[in-house]
Amino acid sequence: MTDETLLDRALIRLEEAASHLQIDQDVIEKLKYPRETTKTRLLIRMDDGSRKSFLAWRCRYDDTRGPTKGGIRFHPDSNIEEVETLAFWMTFKCAVMNLPYGGGKGAVRVDPRTLSKTELERLSRAYMQAFATTVGPDRDIPAPDVYTNAMIMGWMADEYNQITGSVTPAVITGKPIALGGSLGRNDATARGGFYLVRHLASELGLARDHTVAIQGFGNAGQFYAQLTAADGNKVVAVSDSAGAIHKADGLDVAKLIAGKSSGKRVTDLAAELGATVIPADDLIAVEADLLVPAALEEMITIDNAGSIKAKVVLELANGPVTAEADKVLTKNGVVVLPDILANAGGVTVSYFEWVQNRQGFYWDLEEIHARLKKMMEREGRAVWNIAKERDVSARSAAYIHALGRLATAIEAHGTQPFFAG
């Protein structure tokens, strides 16, 4: 039995990256702990007149490089350990992309699928009431995450405006377009990963007509399937929480997405698509050139990593591969494009939204895509070069790249005591 937490396991990446750099131990000490984590209970009125409470958290992990930035998820299994770990990853993700942010994260322990729309709105507004003094456009900027969306962000932004008595669109990103949201935000996570893979395709040994398996067919998974299929690649397997389907000569992505949009599970669509139903856990072992984990944390472990046949893993989810599994994949010659780089398209376009909100001038979709492509290619190339020069994995290279920027910023702040409140 071990007392090791998810954050402890995430910090292994920090220690490994530090071993490749001349970093003051004070920098590592600061980055090992969140700056502040707030826990509360949200008490809301249900439609039947009863009251029900839900645990909620907001973590501001590190603000050395700017206001903290990170999504809010509504999930029945959320806990403080998960929130702090996700905020740690966001700290490094923003540094990898050279965004002027630190890392943050929030969550409510709830299954939003059990709530009516009015109950969901009350919960969303209650979250903002609880954390209105924590967030702010210059302090902590939330965004959507698992089981939250633009509509929920719109409710939260409106509640913040009512509490503060001002219109402050930059307090939250991922909002509806009508409330100051950015074009290109809905597919940004997938598009960033797509640009990264296409830019590094020759180095990764991926042909332009490669095959793809996608674990998790929510927002990111669906958009990635759409983008890669349009680029001439074959999506041969997908999964959701109910199961997986496989078709060696490629699935009809348009029909698959239409079926999901109508409320069906991927397994419900197997017959229509001429696909075979397989256990969800078997998806990672199908024959494919590229495996895209787009579900939750720690889905690929030491127990199943050896079954992966793909030559490249693109982490659209946060933390889908454990440190032990990483070693197996490296030994087997599998290249992992790590989450803090691979799925950074979401926070990058969130940054674009924040910039547009603050300047009151909005870019067209072509400019959003061009800026995202440029940044993903620039930082992806930098990470790849570090990996080759230092003979380390792409994950280690990404952490080295980010840690160098964080260390420079921490040292530039001087020697004032750090308060971990």
Helix 323-331 to helix 6-18 angle (10° resolution) is: 50
257-287 burial: b if 16+ Cβ within 10 Å, else e: bebbeeeebbbbbbeebebebbebeebbbbe
Asked if residue 244 lies in contact with residue 237, where contact means CB atoms within 8 angstroms, the answer is yes
Structure tokens at 217: 């067919």
Q: What is the DSSP letter of 336?
A: E
Structure tokens at 201: 């395709």
Asked if residue 215 lies in contact with residue 236, where contact means CB atoms within 8 angstroms, the answer is no
Q: What residue has token string 């910039």?
A: 355
Q: Can you name the residues that pair with 72 across neighbouring β-strands?
A: 106, 144
Q: What angle do CA 300, 303, 308 make, to 5 degrees?
A: 55
Q: Can you name the residues that pair with 222 across neighbouring β-strands?
A: none
Residue 111, burial from CB neighbour count under 10 angstroms (0-12, 13-18, 19+)? exposed
Q: Which residues are part of the catalytic machinery?
A: 105
232-255 burial: b if 16+ Cβ within 10 Å, else e: ebbbbbbbbeebbbbbeebbbbee
Rounded CA-CA distance 37/47 in Å is 31
Structure tokens at 67: 């206001």
DSSP notation for 86-119: HHHHHHHHHHHTT-S-EEEEEEEE--GGGS-HHH
Distance set, CA 161 to CA 99, 166, 357, 386 (Å): 25, 5, 14, 44
